[in-house]
Amino acid sequence: MIEEDWNAEIGDEALLPSIEKVNLLEKPNDPSSVFSRSVDSFGTDEFVDAQHQSVNSFGRGRNFAAKGFQGGNGEDAIMQNRGFKGFGQGFQERNAVDGDSTQNRWFKGFGGGFGQGTKDGQRGMPQSRTLTFKERQSLADDAGFQGGNGEDAIMQNRGFKGFGQGFQERNAVDGASTQNRGFKGFRGGFGQGTKGGQRSTLQSRTPGSREGGALADSAGPKVTYVPPPPPEDEQAIFARYQTGMNFDKYDENIVEVSGLDPPAALMSFADTNMCHTLTVNIAKAGYSKPTPVQKYSIPIILAGRDLMACAQTGSGKTAAFLVPVVAQMMKDGVTASSFKEQQEPECIITAPTRELINQIFLEARKFVYGTCIRPVVIYGGTQTDYSIRQVKQGCNILCATPGRLLDIIERGKIGLHNVKYLVLDEADRMLDMGFGADMKKLVSFPDMPQKDKRQTLMFSATFPEEVQRLAGEFLKTDFLFVVVGHVGGACSDVQQNILQVSQYFKRDKLVEILHSIGNERTLVFVDTKKKADFIACFLCQENIPATSIHGDREQREREIALRDFRSGKCPVLVATSVAARGLDIERVQHVINFDLPSTIEEYVHRIGRTGRCGNTGKAVGFFDNNSDGHLAQPLIKVLSDAQQEVPLWLTEVAFEVEGGRLPVNTQKNYRGRGKVTAGEVKIGCPAREIESWD
């Protein structure tokens, strides 16, 4: 739609004083233009409206027009909306004529929604462009619907329902659905959805903050999501993807074991006298030979030793701890504990994100198949009662994110005195400022066996020095440290390419790359939640089906986004770092760091979403001198350790930075890897954007 069309469609500009049109097609030649501002420069209100406006400019054809707000009593911004295109579900509109039931027409395609929303009959915040966020919120309580002329789909803006929901609209007169030709395929969403009919609040939780704990009382809407149960059929349980042609190359990696009297490494899974059922399950999982990290970790764990293991991404660390733990549990026997008020798991596994802990749970189901061992997974963003019900049915291996784990323990649903194995996956992340406090709290519970009375196992592809020291507090003094390849090294099966791209040209470069790679699954990492949705939406406008995942999306939408990406329905997933670690998704051929991360460790994890299990992959990073200078030197090391080409310009940038001739952006040189809760922000190191991971 050309510009003047929008002017005609959007109606009286005077009503839209505070929002410039966000025409994503415009080049940032006008630095004052809305789009040439960085996404993050928007305030919440303004951004939501801008997104709203930007969505207008996304629509193709003349089908969408916010006629501008019609006064009514002046308090109600009523937006005549000819109907967005393809918004999927979610944005609730109530017919101004009948005014009672909202007959919803759920549009196909767009699964996203915008801004904040309310649902279930509450008046949403009219998306007035002239009211502030607070004004809209207060309006949302008592504003009523105002009749319009009845000809148009008069919509009292019920506020967008947010992620994965989107837009319901009905023509006020004939009930026929408004023709929608919205942008196809965008399954992202904006802002914050609401749950349970309560008003939306833009709330970003710090990861690990308790759903059920103190925060829950003051936090927004009650979490009601209950994830669909995983398939029970054997084929689905053992579903896996093929190892790649470079799988055998793993054995070329040098393995170092630090510590006293390490047991000998395995040569094959048969080297251990595992029970028959487990041996069969390993074969069903398609594991014909152990990877290096498994060869060394399995005997160490079976020998009862504590372990810190560092191996490249995609090299089988999950099985490296699951197989020996299950083997030992089979040997020692487990207490059958169904439907007891308090469950006493033998093993607790924790990881930093909900999607990753669920993935570990699904892996555990493979190895316990046909045994009496019961794995359970609990994580934030889901109904707490659902987690409790899952645990109550019996729990030998508890897979949990920190926030929900501590909540369930504090509710007395889990007893710790029977814990024999404590596993921290992505351990460096679990121990740094992100979840370190939660982990300390976990091992400090009175009934948690002290470190000399349990086995503590830590795994990650990266282990910064300071975290190695922290780990010592959790491990027995005679723990063993296994390193496959270089500590923190990138997987050499990932072809890395760093491009110098300044902020305003990233968008075009991204589209150029995505158009060139077609439908190959691509993970695009950005540095803020807003940008994740914005870019996903922008890509849809470019006819590149994309979806988004980040910590402020509702869990249901996060899981839908991941499912659509895994299935190829949306071959592009735009993500924040919530997807940086651990996710094991088949056929991810490309990782694009639209924004490079704040630490080199996170870079290694992000590019490790591709090139897994002997498969190859490609990673492109957009290096912006103004913000990424601090990464130049660490990138050179990672590239050269992984036998990748080091661009000359990068060495020059590193030299400039070392010589202090290039500014180092404080925003990005924050060393903290974790969430930053109030009061924890390091002086001079602005906190990274917080998002709820667990």
Ligand X SMILES: Nc1ncnc2c1ncn2[C@@H]1O[C@H](COP(=O)(O)OP(=O)(O)OP(=O)(O)O)[C@@H](O)[C@H]1O
Interaction of residue 284 with ligand X, rule CB under 6 A: no
Give me the least distance between CB of 287 and ligand X, in Å please. Answer: 4
Interaction of residue 608 with ligand X, rule CB under 6 A: yes
Query: CB count, 10 Å around CB of 36?
Result: 15
Q: CB-wise, 435 or 538, nearer to ligand X? A: 435
Question: Considering only 315-323, 380-388, 400-408, 679-687, which stretch makes contact with ligand X by CB under 6 A?
Answer: 315-323
Asked whether the beta carbons of 402 and 438 are under 8 A apart, the reply is yes
Interaction of residue 54 with ligand X, rule CB under 6 A: no
Give me the least distance between CB of 270 and ligand X, in Å please. Answer: 13
Interaction of residue 461 with ligand X, rule CB under 6 A: yes
Q: CB-wise, 490 or 561, nearer to ligand X? A: 490
Interaction of residue 313 with ligand X, rule CB under 6 A: yes
Give me the least distance between CB of 426 and ligand X, in Å please. Answer: 7
**Cα gap 473→536, rounded to integer Å:** 42
Give me the least distance between CB of 241 and ligand X, in Å please. Answer: 6
**Cα gap 519→521, rounded to integer Å:** 6
Residue 472 neighbours by CB under 8 Å, 6+ apart: 479
Interaction of residue 240 with ligand X, rule CB under 6 A: yes
- Residue of 277, 339, 270 lying closest to 298 (CA atoms): 270
Q: Tell me phi and psi for residue 376, to 5 degrees.
A: -135, 145
Query: H-type helices in 568-631, by residue range?
Result: 600-607, 625-628
Interaction of residue 429 with ligand X, rule CB under 6 A: no
Residue 636 neighbours by CB under 8 Å, 6+ apart: 646, 650, 651, 654
Q: CB-wise, 212 or 582, nearer to ligand X? A: 582
Q: CB-wise, 319 or 523, nearer to ligand X? A: 319
Provide the sign of the torsion angle of the four alpha carbons 35, 38, 41, 47, taken in this order: positive
Q: CB-wise, 268 or 338, nearer to ligand X? A: 268
Q: CB-wise, 285 or 662, nearer to ligand X? A: 285
Question: Considering only 85-93, 127-135, 300-308, 312-320, which stretch makes contact with ligand X by CB under 6 A?
Answer: 312-320
Nearest residue to ligand X by CB is 316
Size of the site for ligand X (CB under 6 A): 22
Interaction of residue 588 with ligand X, rule CB under 6 A: no
Q: CB-wise, 50 or 461, nearer to ligand X? A: 461
Give me the least distance between CB of 228 and ligand X, in Å please. Answer: 21
Asked whether the beta carbons of 178 and 82 are under 8 A apart, the reply is yes
Burial class (CB in 10 A: 0-12, 13-18, 19+), 661: exposed
Q: CB-wise, 22 or 427, nearer to ligand X? A: 427
Interaction of residue 604 with ligand X, rule CB under 6 A: no
Q: Which two tokens mark 284?
A: 């069903």
Question: Considering only 72-80, 167-175, 314-322, 326-334, which stretch makes contact with ligand X by CB under 6 A?
Answer: 314-322
Q: Which residue in the set 244, 286, 634, 672 belongs to the binding site for ligand X (CB under 6 A)? A: 286
Interaction of residue 287 with ligand X, rule CB under 6 A: yes
Q: What residues form DSSP beta bridges with 66?
A: 81
Give me the least distance between CB of 251 and ligand X, in Å please. Answer: 11
Interaction of residue 244 with ligand X, rule CB under 6 A: no
Q: Tell me phi and psi for residue 397, to 5 degrees.
A: -120, 115
Question: Considering only 221-229, 283-291, 401-409, 475-483, which stretch makes contact with ligand X by CB under 6 A?
Answer: 283-291
Interaction of residue 278 with ligand X, rule CB under 6 A: no
Question: Considering only 104-112, 286-294, 405-413, 672-680, which stretch makes contact with ligand X by CB under 6 A?
Answer: 286-294
Give me the least distance between CB of 356 and ligand X, in Å please. Answer: 7
* Amino acid identity for residue 625 in this structure: N
**Cα gap 323→307, rounded to integer Å:** 14
DSSP state of 211: S
Q: Which residue in the set 67, 612, 630, 668 belongs to the binding site for ligand X (CB under 6 A)? A: 612
Interaction of residue 314 with ligand X, rule CB under 6 A: yes
Give me the least distance between CB of 635 and ligand X, in Å please. Answer: 19
Interaction of residue 211 with ligand X, rule CB under 6 A: no
Q: Which residue in the set 92, 165, 291, 548 belongs to the binding site for ligand X (CB under 6 A)? A: 291
| Secondary structure (3-state) at 388 | helix
Question: Considering only 226-234, 290-298, 376-384, 411-419, which stretch makes contact with ligand X by CB under 6 A?
Answer: 290-298
Interaction of residue 317 with ligand X, rule CB under 6 A: yes
Interaction of residue 208 with ligand X, rule CB under 6 A: no
CA separation, residue 394 to residues 273, 334, 388, 414, 462 (Å) = 27, 11, 10, 10, 34
Interaction of residue 319 with ligand X, rule CB under 6 A: yes
Interaction of residue 324 with ligand X, rule CB under 6 A: no
CA angle 384, 386, 388 (to 5 degrees): 75
Where residue 522 falls (left for φ over 0; alpha for ψ -120 to 50; beta otherwise) is beta
Asked whether the beta carbons of 156 and 169 are under 8 A apart, the reply is no
Asked whether the beta carbons of 86 and 181 are under 8 A apart, the reply is yes
Interaction of residue 316 with ligand X, rule CB under 6 A: yes
- Residue of 476, 357, 478 lying closest to 426 (CA atoms): 357
Q: Which residue in the set 80, 318, 350, 387 belongs to the binding site for ligand X (CB under 6 A)? A: 318
Q: Which residue in the set 53, 95, 315, 382 belongs to the binding site for ligand X (CB under 6 A)? A: 315
Write b or e for each residue in 399-426: b if 16 or more Cβ atoms lie within 10 A of its Cβ, otherwise e. bbbbbbbbbbbeeebbbbebbbbbbbbb
Q: Which residue in the set 613, 638, 650, 662 belongs to the binding site for ligand X (CB under 6 A)? A: 613
Q: CB-wise, 281 or 294, nearer to ligand X? A: 294
**CA 545 from chain center: how many Å?**
18
Interaction of residue 582 with ligand X, rule CB under 6 A: yes
DSSP state of 222: P
Interaction of residue 584 with ligand X, rule CB under 6 A: yes
The pairing of beta strand 66-70 with beta strand 78-81: antiparallel
Pick out residues in 115-144 that bind ligand X (CB under 6 A): none
Query: H-type helices in 30-153, by residue range?
Result: 44-58, 133-142
Element holding 325 (H helix, E strand) = helix 317-332
**Cα gap 553→559, rounded to integer Å:** 10
Q: Strand runs (DSSP E) across 235-329, as ranges?
A: 255-258, 307-310
CA angle 381, 384, 389 (to 5 degrees): 125
Q: CB-wise, 194 or 291, nearer to ligand X? A: 291
> Which residues contact ligand X by CB under 6 A?
240-241, 243, 286-287, 290-291, 294, 311, 313-319, 461, 582, 584, 608, 612-613
